[in-house]
Amino acid sequence: MSREPSASALLAERAALAVILAVFLAPIAWLISTAYKPARDIFNIPPTLSFTPTLTNFVNVFRYFDLARLIESSLIISLGATALSLLIGAPAGYALARARSKWAIGLAYFFLAVRTVPPVATLLPFYLMMRDIGLLGTWGAVILIDATLNTAFVVWMMFSYFRTLPRELEEAALVDGCSLPGGFLRVALPLVKPGLVASALLCVMFAWNDFLYSSFLTRAESKPISVALLTAYGTKDISWGTLGALAHFSTLPIVAIALLLNRYFVQGLTRGTH
């Protein structure tokens, strides 16, 4: 029989979780507070949490940045890369999961290894490739490179997830007259909805937060908000208040999506590892 944890053990566990949470959230809280601080309070030594809030930094964001265009670029790149990654990765993961070859698992690990390649190692060849095919400076260049790396991750995720489904479900559909693509679309795919949502959310996060590829493969009119954050760094100083305000618009959409799809996200990450 399992013993119930003591009150002191529960208290210690919750205290440890509170400390860990405070450590991880402290930089975020400091960044948020910086967006509402006047310039004179940002550089106070020692720092203080007592200040008169101001919206001047947000006014500067709307004054100096085309915020709608930046968010549009980020959305197009993130959603485009995610859609392409799922369109290729889900069928590929299913094919590997149902393959009877002994090389299927090794190939799945190969896709996982592709995702671990340092981004800077692929930047130069991809830059030259996009230049040669005429996509340099467009959203399409970033979508293709993000989708290339994210597809490898989706293949691994969906491979792990499809392996947890019994083959008998699809075999029963085939007996009833369903084709192989129909068995995938009508039987297997609906059953892995949490895995698809988890993969999609992670792909959106990877693409939304991408800085390296976006900064080198886009022009001024196609740069996403992740690259615009760098413009808060001047030649002589850093506009910390403007940076903090702009960071609101860079992080809030992803946080909102994560909170909205949190239930599917957790299910997708846990069930696919069995």
Nearest 5°: the CA angle 63, 65, 69 is 130
Quote the percentage of the chain above a pLDDT of 70: 90
CB of 94 within 8 A of CB of 156? no
Residue partners of 5: CB distance under 8 A and separation at least 6: 13
| pLDDT tens by residue, 125-151 | 999 999 999 888 899 999 999 998 899
Q: Model-level pTM?
A: 0.83
Give me the residue label for tokens 């069995």. Answer: 274
pLDDT at 273: 47
pLDDT tier, 274 (very low <50, low <70, confident <90, very high otherwise): very low
188 pLDDT higher than 50: yes
> From CA 91, how far away is CA 273, in angstroms rounded?
19
pLDDT at 164: 84
pLDDT tier, 266 (very low <50, low <70, confident <90, very high otherwise): low
Give the CATH number of domain 65-271: 1.10.3720.10
- Listed by start position, the domains of the chain span 7-58, 65-271
Tell me how many helices (H) and strands (E) the chain has: 15, 0
